[in-house]
Homo-oligomer: A and B are copies of this chain.
Amino acid sequence: MTSCIAASIDEGLILVSDSRTNAGIDNVSTHGKMHAFDTNSDRKIILLCAGNVATTQAVLEQLHRDKIKNAPVNFNTVESLFEAAAYLGHVSVEKQKQHSNSQGKSAFNASASFVLAGQIGTDPHGAYMVYAEGNTITSSAHTPFLQIGESKYGKPIVDRFLKLNSSLEEASRCCLVSMDSTIRSNASVGAPVEMLIYRKNSFSLEEYYCFDDDDDDYMWQLRRSWETKLREAMAALPSLNKETIKPMRIDL
């Protein structure tokens, strides 16, 4: 499995991804899912990948080759993030089709999904989710984040605290806590955790972190701080009011 979060907020972007892949519970590996492209200086494009690893690698390879061969459409020619996402969706569907009729186990699933994020020219920064079907959505003012892969365990915390006007620092911690909750509840999501903080209009990918394992200093401090405070929060919850006890229907 995979878990990736992309926050697109006023100050810029936060991209967080795990690195665990598996082809069955007995075949677990580590592959980074965050990829940056060496494009012209007027743009930065980063992908987060989920789904079939062979498909995502084939897609990345095609995008790379289109770019270095100056294909009519490539990441250096697209004029907007929307156009970049549509192009990615087209390539993704092609690659999925190539293997979907292969002879093999009926459980075989070539599907893959992506988040494409970055900034092009004078357009604002942004992020697009590219579904397995090749169609795309972007984030919005009320839901300034996108998730691919295992999303549910980590969603309540970003639902509560990730806002358009959060600072990049707050948002980065919120996304890391969300990822940590996911890692804790789903064994198929795991370290290293990569995080990129992109400040709008900077066209710089310099604020990149990679938390190598569960014992990473910062992640350990983050987890301990969060757990301690959560324990206090749990202890501070109001007691039940026994006067509100009602008779239970014994209905059967």
Contacts and interface: CB of A to CB of B under 8 A. Distances in A.
Contacts of A225: 233, 236-238
Interface string A210-222: 1000000110011
B241 A185 contact: no
Given A63-B252, A152-B152, A156-B184, A236 B229 contact: yes
A250 B208 CA distance: 11
B36 A250 contact: yes
A248 interface: yes
Given A64-B252, A231-B161, A245 B208 contact: yes
Interface residues of A, number: 62
A203 interface: no
Contacts of A246: 208-210
Interface of A: 32, 35-38, 60, 63-64, 67, 152-156, 159-161, 169-170, 172-174, 177, 181-182, 184-185, 196, 205-210, 217-218, 221-222, 225-227, 229-234, 236-241, 244-252
